[in-house]
Structures are given as structure tokens and as C-alpha cells.
């Protein structure tokens, strides 16, 4: 009830501005189109006032719409939970274990991060979601996850109604000839139930809503799977990204430690499949989108991995020459280079080196 009151009061009328963004506009537009078309088509397919099944079907549609909108607005307006400006831990000694945010002029609580979009530190921040135009954090993570679960379920129900409506409405309108199939969209149904006229415009709108529902089911369903995977590991999206980044940096550092220095002994033009470097080099060119690098005699290369006839590495250039320039790295033929004398005895072969492709 307290959450509901906070949604009604919005705690600050400025929160209403969150609706004026492309994310909420598109999300609410998709919900409105799918829900409206599903309710209209359910009347055409399964009249809710004459059968128990039709009544249950119509009530379920309304239920999906209400629950989706409630969790959506709750995730948007309840907010993720902000670290108070100027916050400090009760025990001053604990501040040595916390990071300090210069923007918020406060210490960051454990598992909190600063959001550049919201310009605040978010408690247990997961990510900034453009679809709700707000951060997903400690207070609204549950509502956001329920929203991701309910949307695919509601869209699957709506898609089933769209398919059944088009099938039942077109069943008595098809006329088969020897070479053609004709559809009479002006023909009325013979059954006496009150229906909404199903013309060409209604058919096109139903077909569009079906595609929208199926696309939303796939897209939001994937987001829900990712969220559940992270929740089961008791992590947030940012924490998972930090761990992956740390592992990548560790692997790169290990590669540099195990890298071997080579000296270019023959020029190489940077061709993908060089004919002048031998038949074996030509036919064993790496099947990858990674670039080839031009080599000139006398240059130094730091190789990190390789194949039998090819190596991958970075050019070692003068610091004054490459200041402000990105690294030059890529594949090059092995027979264009030789190991430097200082590295030939002590350093191991490049990581990933194979005897064949």
C-alpha cells in the first residue's frame, strides 16, 4: 500500500517528466496497441458474455494489461532508491572502505554506483533503463523483473487471440478457384452473435499487432532471461560487467607477459592472402575479420598468439610517434619475422600457437 501511495503522489511532480521520453512513449504505445487489438479481436473470436471460456479469456486479457501497467509505472515512478546527498557511514572508520562520489558529495554505499543519466548515486544499481526512463535499483528491481515476466506472457496470449481471430474470420470468406484464392472481406459472418465489423483495415491492424506481439515476446523474453540469470547469481548487471572486464584485463596482462618479441626481416604489404610469401602461407590465411598489418624491415613486433604460418601481435613504435594514436595490431606472416636474440632463448612461444590451422 505504501508503494501504491508513493506512485499516486509521485513524491515529486517533476517525475511526470519521465513520460516525455522516447522509451516510455514506445513502450506504452506497444502495450496500448496489443491490448486494444486483443480485446477487440477477443470479442470477434470468443464472445465473452455467452460462454464461461469467453468470460475467462476476456478477464485474463484485462488482468495482463492491469498488472503490466502497474509494475511498469511502479518501476518508473517508485525509483531505484538514491543514496542521500552528503551521506556518511555512522562509523567514521568505515569510510576508508568506501568510495567517495565528488558529484553527490557523499560516500557510496556498498554495491551502489553513480548514474550519469540520473546524476545521482543509485543503491544496488543494476542499469539505467531507457524504456522506463529511470534507473533499475534496490527499490524497483522487483517491479521491473515482474514487468519483464508479464509482458511476454501477455503477448503470447494476445498473439494466440490474433491468430484465432484471423482464422475464424477468414474461414467463411475464402473462395478457391482453379488458379487463385480470393478473399471477400465484405462478407458478414453467419452467426448471430454481436460482432465488430472485420474489414480489410481490421485485418491489417490485427496482422500488425500480431507481429508486434511476437517481436515483443522475443525481445523482452531475452531481457527477462538475462535478469533472472543475474539474480540467481546474486549480482547486478554492473557487477557482472565489472567481473567480466576484470577477467579480460587479467587475460590481456597474461598475454603480454607471455608475448614474444620479433624483428621484421622482410617487408609485408598487409595483403589478406599474399602470393609472394609461399603457397602454405597463402592457403592458411586466418579466416577472421581481424586486420593484417603492414610490416617494414627493421620494425619490432610483440606477438601474443599465432598459427603455424601466421602470427598476431602489436607493433612496437616510438612513444613520441604514437602519442595520441591507437595501437597498430593484426596478423602477419611468420616467415617475415624472426625472434629477437634476447627473447629467443627465454620466452615461450605465443599463446595459441598451433601446428596446423
Q: Provide the angle, in degrees to the nearest 10, between the axes of the packed helices 200-232 and 141-171.
A: 150
Residue 136: strand, helix, or coil = strand
C-alpha to C-alpha distance for 34 and 65, rounded to whole angstroms: 9
C-alpha to C-alpha distance for 134 and 76, rounded to whole angstroms: 6
Q: Is 98 exposed, middle or buried (0-12, 13-18, 19+ CB in 10 A)?
A: middle
C-alpha to C-alpha distance for 158 and 57, rounded to whole angstroms: 10
Query: How does DSSP classify residue 290?
Result: S
Q: Exactly one of 129, 135, 155, 336 is catalytic; which is it? A: 129
C-alpha to C-alpha distance for 233 and 165, rounded to whole angstroms: 42
342 catalytic residue (yes or no): no
The answer for residues whose C-beta is within 8 angstroms of residue 165's C-beta and 6 or more apart is 41, 42, 44, 45, 198, 206
The answer for residues whose C-beta is within 8 angstroms of residue 213's C-beta and 6 or more apart is 34, 155, 156, 158, 159, 162
The answer for residues whose C-beta is within 8 angstroms of residue 51's C-beta and 6 or more apart is none
CA dihedral 155, 156, 159, 161 (to 10 degrees): -110
CA distances from 184 to 180, 189, 202, 206, 239 (A): 13, 11, 13, 17, 58
CA distances from 2 to 6, 8, 28, 145 (A): 6, 10, 24, 19
Q: How far apart are the first and last CA of the chain?
A: 64
Residue with cell 604489404: 269
CA distances from 259 to 96, 304, 351, 353 (A): 38, 5, 7, 11
Q: Looking at the annotation, which residues are catalytic?
A: 129
Amino acid at each position: 500500500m505504501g508503494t501504491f501511495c508513493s506512485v499516486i503522489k509521485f513524491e515529486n511532480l517533476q517525475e511526470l517528466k519521465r513520460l516525455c521520453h522516447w522509451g516510455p512513449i514506445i513502450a506504452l504505445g506497444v502495450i496500448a496497441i496489443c491490448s486494444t487489438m486483443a480485446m477487440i479481436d477477443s470479442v470477434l473470436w470468443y464472445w465473452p458474455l455467452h460462454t464461461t471460456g469467453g468470460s475467462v479469456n476476456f478477464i485474463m486479457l484485462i488482468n495482463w494489461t492491469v498488472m503490466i501497467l502497474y509494475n511498469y509505472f511502479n518501476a518508473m515512478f517508485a525509483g531505484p532508491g538514491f543514496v542521500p546527498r552528503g551521506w556518511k557511514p555512522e562509523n567514521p572508520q568505515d569510510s576508508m572502505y568506501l568510495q567517495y562520489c565528488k558529484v553527490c558529495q557523499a560516500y557510496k554505499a556498498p554495491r551502489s554506483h553513480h548514474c550519469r543519466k540520473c546524476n545521482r548515486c543509485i543503491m544496488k544499481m543494476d542499469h539505467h533503463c531507457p524504456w522506463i526512463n529511470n534507473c533499475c535499483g534496490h527499490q524497483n528491481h522487483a517491479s521491473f523483473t515482474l514487468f519483464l515476466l508479464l509482458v511476454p506472457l501477455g503477448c503470447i496470449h494476445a498473439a494466440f487471440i490474433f491468430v484465432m481471430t484471423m482464422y475464424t474470420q477468414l474461414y467463411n470468406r475464402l473462395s478457391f478457384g482453379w488458379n487463385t484464392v480470393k478473399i471477400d472481406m465484405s462478407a458478414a459472418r453467419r452467426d448471430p452473435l454481436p460482432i465488430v465489423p472485420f474489414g480489410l483495415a481490421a485485418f491489417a491492424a490485427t496482422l500488425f499487432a500480431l507481429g508486434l506481439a511476437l517481436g515483443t515476446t522475443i525481445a523482452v523474453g531475452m531481457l527477462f532471461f538475462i535478469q533472472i540469470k543475474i539474480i540467481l547469481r546474486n549480482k547486478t548487471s554492473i557487477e557482472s560487467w565489472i567481473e567480466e572486464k576484470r577477467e579480460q584485463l587479467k587475460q590481456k596482462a597474461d598475454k603480454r607477459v607471455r608475448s614474444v618479441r620479433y624483428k621484421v626481416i622482410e617487408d609485408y604489404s598487409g595483403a589478406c592472402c599474399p602470393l609472394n610469401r609461399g603457397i602454405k602461407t597463402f592457403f592458411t590465411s586466418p579466416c577472421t575479420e581481424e586486420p593484417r598489418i603492414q610490416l617494414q624491415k627493421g620494425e619490432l613486433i610483440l606477438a601474443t598468439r599465432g598459427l603455424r604460418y601466421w602470427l598476431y601481435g602489436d607493433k612496437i613504435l616510438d612513444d613520441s610517434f604514437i602519442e595520441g594514436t591507437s595501437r597498430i595490431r593484426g596478423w602477419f606472416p611468420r616467415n617475415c619475422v624472426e625472434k629477437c636474440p634476447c627473447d629467443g632463448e627465454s620466452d615461450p612461444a605465443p599463446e595459441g600457437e598451433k601446428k596446423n590451422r
